Amino acid sequence: MAYETRKKSTKVLQKIGKSNLKKYDKKKVKKKVTKKKVTKKMTMKEHEKHHSKKHITLMKNLMKRGMSMARAHTEAMKQVGK
């Protein structure tokens, strides 16, 4: 039943002229929580005990941009301090 409805929806989308049909055909898959993510969260929790809120927010922003935790920490120490 679900396959047929998906098939019909792709036909409708083709008539409309949608070029990217792949995203409508994919099934939703839940992302697995990796050991790396859990370890990072635990490390940050431990780190928050010893540093200020400004320091932690700056570190989180730097890490979102792609910096490693150690580099983000040294940069936050230079800009904000402990």
pTM of the model: 0.53
Burial label, 77 (beta-carbon count in 10 A; 0-12, 13-18, 19+): middle
pLDDT tens across 18-77, in order? 555 555 555 666 667 777 778 888 888 888 888 999 999 998 899 899 988 889 889 999
- Say if residue 6's pLDDT is above 70: no
Which parts of the chain fold into alpha helices (H)?
A: 2-16, 22-25, 35-48, 53-64, 69-79
- Say if residue 80's pLDDT is above 60: yes
More confidently predicted of 12 and 5: 12
